[in-house]
Amino acid sequence: MGWIILGIVMVGAAIGGTVVSSQVEHAKYDVVSSAGNIEIRDYAPHIVAEVTVSGARQVAINQGFRLIADYIFGGNTASSKVAMTAPVIQQPSEKIAMTAPVVQQGSGNEWNVRFIMPANYTLATLPKPNNTDVTLYEVASKRFAAIRFSGMAGEETLREKTQALHAFIADKKLKILSTPTLAFYNPPWTLPFLRRNEVLIEIEK
């Protein structure tokens, strides 16, 4: 009976994680075309909070996540009153709504980890980070080829999905403009089959 109860709790937590992901604001994009689990997307301009960290990929994303989470959960000085999405919390320094996905991009041993800020903010209205390692900047509209998959995003899986995306881009004779970007949408307690992960590569319009 104990194992049954534990299983129900784990499934409930995982489904709850998926609900959390579905309720937060996501990056806005239009799907230009699709082929199976691969899409060509046009992303709207948006603002990101970004840090650069060194180390192995998993270590880097964990460290980067903590640094930016500290910013959006109060590690900032409010330059103006910010309208909240959800949840709403009132405190001396403001809390910014969480968005999805968490994005990771790397070169060698350094990784850029960034959160996309809610669309109702501008650079002028976002509170300034207390930590100078956190940078806020605006990203212009871009086109990406994206491959979506569930499960655990281990190194071998990420390599396989990246290779599949490269093969698709080569087959369609598209021009690559960036190194691969990794995107993760769910809390760590989400069951593997409910997770949403992506590899994205910027391409020429």
Do 35 and 55 reside in the same domain of the chain? no
Range(s) of the domain holding residue 145: 1-45+140-205
| Beta strand segments in the chain, E | 25-26, 29-35, 38-43, 46-54, 76-77, 99-100, 102-107, 110-116, 128-129, 135-139, 142-149, 181-184, 197-203
Do 102 and 170 reside in the same domain of the chain? no
Print pLDDT tens along the chain (205 aa).
Answer: 433 333 333 333 333 343 345 566 778 899 999 999 999 999 999 888 888 888 888 888 888 888 888 888 888 876 433 332 222 221 223 556 667 777 777 766 788 888 888 888 899 989 999 999 999 999 999 999 999 999 998 899 999 999 999 999 999 999 999 888 888 887 777 889 988 899 999 999 9
Closest CA to 41 of 115, 106, 120, 101: 101
What pLDDT was estimated at residue 129?
92
CA distances from 8 to 5, 151, 191 (A): 5, 20, 12
Do 36 and 69 reside in the same domain of the chain? no
Do 13 and 39 reside in the same domain of the chain? yes
What pLDDT was estimated at residue 203?
96
Do 117 and 92 reside in the same domain of the chain? yes
Cα-only R_g, the chain: 18
Do 18 and 79 reside in the same domain of the chain? no
Do 27 and 1 reside in the same domain of the chain? yes
Do 106 and 146 reside in the same domain of the chain? no
| Cβ proximity of 204 and 177 under 8 Å | yes
Whole-angstrom Cα distance, residue 117 to residue 132?
Answer: 17
Do 100 and 70 reside in the same domain of the chain? yes
What pLDDT was estimated at residue 23?
60
What pLDDT was estimated at residue 126?
92
Whole-angstrom Cα distance, residue 194 to residue 150?
Answer: 7
Do 131 and 55 reside in the same domain of the chain? yes
User: How many domains is the chain partitioned into structurally?
Assistant: 2
pTM of the predicted structure, to 2 decimals: 0.77
If one counts every other C-beta atom within 10 angstroms of the C-beta of residue 21, the result is 20
What pLDDT was estimated at residue 68?
84
CATH code where residue 10 lies:
3.30.200
What pLDDT was estimated at residue 53?
85
Q: Where among 113, 135, 157 does a domain terminate? A: 135
Whole-angstrom Cα distance, residue 106 to residue 168?
Answer: 21
Q: Where among 135, 159, 193 does a domain terminate? A: 135
What pLDDT was estimated at residue 70?
84
Q: Where among 120, 135, 150 does a domain terminate? A: 135
Do 130 and 67 reside in the same domain of the chain? yes
Do 109 and 55 reside in the same domain of the chain? yes
Whole-angstrom Cα distance, residue 204 to residue 159?
Answer: 23
DSSP one-letter code for 4: H
